Amino acid sequence: MAQRLGLIIIAIFLLGACSVSTTPTPMIRLNDLQPLPMPTPVTSPPLRVSVASVISPQGTVQSYQPLLDYLSAKLGRQVVLVQRRTYTETNELIGSNEVDVAFVCTSAYIDGRDRYGMSLLVAPQVNEATTYHSLLIVPATSPAQTMADLRGKVFAFTDPTSFSGRVYPTVLVNELGDEPETFFHDIFFTYTHDKAIEAVANGLADGAAVDSLVFEFALARDPELATKVKVIHTSPPFGIPPVVIGPGVRPQLRAELQNIFLGMADDPSPLAEKALTALGVDRFVMIDDVAYASARLVRSRVSRLSP
């Protein structure tokens, strides 16, 4: 009986295994398959660079575009130039993280470090030095020999925040016991150093104070300027206008940018040489905040500095 029952169970199992399903099997046509969508490539946002208006916008583009091209090639990402009219506006861009890197003047760095959280990245080295001067210039035919001789004259300041173009000449006037507003017959702002040089060369101003680096570069590009303007006073050396970085930049990007700048002079790439030549810079080097101590001291001696 048990043997018979076992045979029945085996027969039922075999019948179930051999039964044909009535559910139709879906057919797949390989020719009808659609390709899977390609993943969207992840692109880095552009690096935003601002240049304080030391020179006119057109001059800035001509001088700095080769550097922007070099940074773009090294980083593998777009690099864009963001320009503003005044030094303060450039500082505000850094403080609000609207730009990542900026080329600022000495006084703007002193303000920006405390107020906007910017920090030193590197500094340009020019003629083996990381210092510059404020030059007091007058027309070549002017009899003026000192700032005292410019009393009652027309004077061109550069930017309200500029160390060489506003702070230092203001100190010279203060040392004469006066304020620019009463010492000069009239004052006006050019907002760039090259425009201040032009104002003196063209007789629109009886004097101006300008960045020595900009002045030397302007003479190199236009030797005729030497017949139109002359220097009657040279300040002591001060820390050179630096390259700064914003508080919101990632440490990894900061380190990468620093290495790129520091390695430019040793990079055999034609792009590197072109960038340095366009800027009139030997190389970029590390610099410490102590380099700006003397400029801070001079700023502290300014009795009043309003726009």
Domain-wise residue ranges, the chain: 47-130+240-300, 134-235
Distances (CA, A) of 281 to 73, 130, 143, 213, 276: 20, 10, 34, 10, 5
Question: Per the structure block, which two tokens stand in for 282?
Answer: 């030997």
Q: Of 87 and 67, which is predicted with more confidence?
A: 67
What phi, psi does 124 have (nearest 5°)?
-75, 145
- In this predicted structure, the answer to whether residue 8 has a pLDDT above a threshold of 50 is no
Give percent of the chain above pLDDT 90: 70
- Which CATH entry fits the domain spanning 47-130+240-300: 1.10.10.10, 3.40.190.10, 3.30.2310.20, 3.40.50.10490? 3.40.190.10
| Residue type (1 letter), 124 | P
Residue 25: band (very low, low, confident or very high) from pLDDT cuts 50, 70, 90: low
**pLDDT for the residue numbered 304:** 64
Residue 305: band (very low, low, confident or very high) from pLDDT cuts 50, 70, 90: low
Distance CA 262, CA 285 (A): 6
Nearest to 279 by CA among 122, 162, 164, 156: 122
Q: 134-235 — its CATH code?
A: 3.40.190.10
The region, left, alpha or beta by phi > 0 then psi within -120 to 50, assigned to residue 114 is alpha
Residue 39: band (very low, low, confident or very high) from pLDDT cuts 50, 70, 90: low
**pLDDT for the residue numbered 29:** 57
- In this predicted structure, the answer to whether residue 5 has a pLDDT above a threshold of 50 is no
**Interval 77-124: pLDDT, tens:** 999 999 888 888 889 999 999 999 999 999 999 999 989 999 999 999
Q: What is the mean pLDDT of residues 230-257?
A: 96
Distance CA 133, CA 186 (A): 24
Distances (CA, A) of 128 to 49, 203, 284: 25, 34, 10
**pLDDT for the residue numbered 87:** 86
- In this predicted structure, the answer to whether residue 227 has a pLDDT above a threshold of 90 is yes
Decide whether 47-130+240-300 matches 134-235 in CATH topology.
yes
- In this predicted structure, the answer to whether residue 268 has a pLDDT above a threshold of 50 is yes
Contact of 239 with 199, CB cutoff 8 Å: no
Q: What is the mean pLDDT of residues 50-57?
A: 71
Contact of 137 with 231, CB cutoff 8 Å: yes
What sign does the dihedral 263-57-196-110 (CA atoms) show?
A: negative
Contact of 86 with 57, CB cutoff 8 Å: no
Contact of 232 with 144, CB cutoff 8 Å: yes
Residue 165 gets which letter from DSSP? I
Q: What is the mean pLDDT of residues 263-278?
A: 95
Q: What is the mean pLDDT of residues 175-201?
A: 95
Q: What is the mean pLDDT of residues 160-175?
A: 95
Question: What is the overall mean pLDDT for the chain?
Answer: 87
Overall pTM > 0.85: no
Q: What is the mean pLDDT of residues 256-262?
A: 97
Residue 26: band (very low, low, confident or very high) from pLDDT cuts 50, 70, 90: low
- Beta-bridged to residue 293, according to DSSP, are none
What sign does the dihedral 184-192-56-266 (CA atoms) show?
A: positive
